[in-house]
Amino acid sequence: MVNVVVVYHSGYGHTKNQAEAVFEGVSSDADVRASCIAINHEGNISDSDWQALDNANAIIFGSPTYMGMASWQFKKFADDTSKRWFSLAWKDKIAAGFTNSASMNGDKHSTLHYMITLAMQHGMLWTGTAMMPSNQKASVRDDINYLGSFAGLMAQSPADAGTDESPTKGDIDTAKLFGQRISEVTKQWCS
């Protein structure tokens, strides 16, 4: 059994929906023990959450993109990982990331590249979507990887969409496949 932990912040619930879909994808693998940690509105997680992260074989970071970057609550969490960094305690864990925002692009790439930067400081191995984009004339919004992202997982939730309707089916299905991907990579790495 390998441990995969999803740790995310969600401001209004859309990123929580995305996180749960990633978690479902991770969990669909019988050889993986999955858990999910929500960073609270003050940017904190509990001591047992930190312990779960320390014990993880893979960590999947998640955050909305606000003003062109991960939320301050996610950044507070990232700053708090400095204690692990000093001893490279997270070295050789698998890392991946996801983000949601209201626009098609909306600088989501910026958030994902920050998560990579964070993972690289920790000496982790980064894995992206490994998915082809859906970018033909006949492509539709609910296709897998319609947003065309590679460095990590993206979802888009319109600014006026409720959490009961967004992210849409295609982005949620993409999130599940992404979770499965991370499980597979983690198992190969730990075998």
Q: Of 33, 38, 85, 142, which one interacts with a second copy (CB under 8 A)?
A: 85
Q: Of 41, 44, 54, 79, which one interacts with a second copy (CB under 8 A)?
A: 79
Q: Taking CB under 8 A as the rule, does residue 131 contact a second copy?
A: yes
Q: How far is the CB of 23 from a second copy (least distance, A)?
A: 21
Contacts of 29 (CB under 8 A, 6+ apart): 180, 183, 184, 187
Q: How far is the CB of 48 from a second copy (least distance, A)?
A: 22
Q: How far is the CB of 151 from a second copy (least distance, A)?
A: 4
**Tokens 């929580």 sit on residue:** 16
User: How far is the C-alpha of 36 from the C-alpha of 61, rounded, in Å?
Assistant: 10
Q: Taking CB under 8 A as the rule, does residue 88 contact a second copy?
A: yes
Q: Taking CB under 8 A as the rule, does residue 151 contact a second copy?
A: yes
Bond prior to 167 in cis (omega within 30° of 0): yes
Contacts of 181 (CB under 8 A, 6+ apart): 25, 127, 129, 130, 131
Q: Of 126, 144, 163, 173, which one interacts with a second copy (CB under 8 A)?
A: 126
